[in-house]
Amino acid sequence: MTRLQELEERRVYECRLTPDRALRTLDEAEAFLRDRGLLSRTADSALPSLYEACHEDPYAPGSRGFGSWPATKWPWPWELAQRDGIHASKLHCGKTLLVTEEVRRLLDPICRAELERTEQTDPSWSRVLRHLAEAGPSTPEDLDTELGLERRERKAVLSPLERCGVVVRRGDELLRWDQAYPDAADGDMTVAGALEELVVAAVRAAVVAPERHVLRRFFSFSWRLSPELLSGLVAEGRLERPEPGWLAAT
């Protein structure tokens, strides 16, 4: 058995990819998340997936979108996000990403840097962010009324801000990252250091992953990642390449 085959076999077990390892209860799902550190909602990359680990028939067999979600366990991502130390965002390329508090602390310097970047990049972004800073948590309808936004315009502005973690949803409200998490997680951690730690945590969660997934399909801020960053982590012994194009955590 090659090293890659060994890792893929371990991934099947640890990421619960077989029906005998199916999640049966919400408590089991929470334990799975805390073991992995981060979960995507659907299976669309090498990141472990909550719905994939359920192994439940879809709500509407043969359909796409919402109908392909588990018939009874589809609310689990929202229910998990209500539990202590679990956080939900759109940092997985605009799709739901569930993370533990430990991983959220790694994301903190990155999202604060994204907040600073977006405030200075686009007037429509800075207008919404400035309003949230002054008015506090707001509903989407509040933004429409107070900023004179049309629904389509508001969605176009919020989407990139949520994808970068700059704006967070909690129930019906929208908050800036620094409102949702007012205390910096670790004032000594640089953005570069946080990125390195996050990449290692994500690869460890996946057990083994195609390098292209790590660079382009794990996180929205793919422009902050590079082949050189990954090669540096391999050179330091924090990641390994079991075969060209594949990564695993050591």
pLDDT of residue 185: 80
Q: Token pair for residue 155?
A: 């969605």
Of the candidates 61, 54, 95, the residue with the CA atom closest to the CA atom of residue 76: 54
Reply yes or no on domain 105-180 having CATH 1.20.1260.10.
Answer: no
Tell me the C-alpha distance between 177 and 165, whole Å: 7
Its pTM stands at 0.95
Q: Token pair for residue 55?
A: 């192994």
Give, for 209, the enclosing helix (H) or strand (E).
Answer: strand 208-210
Q: Tens of pLDDT along 20-53?
A: 999 999 999 999 999 999 999 999 999 999 999 9
pLDDT of residue 62: 84
pLDDT less than 50: residues of the chain = none
pLDDT of residue 196: 97
Q: Tens of pLDDT along 117-151?
A: 999 999 999 999 999 999 999 999 999 999 999 99
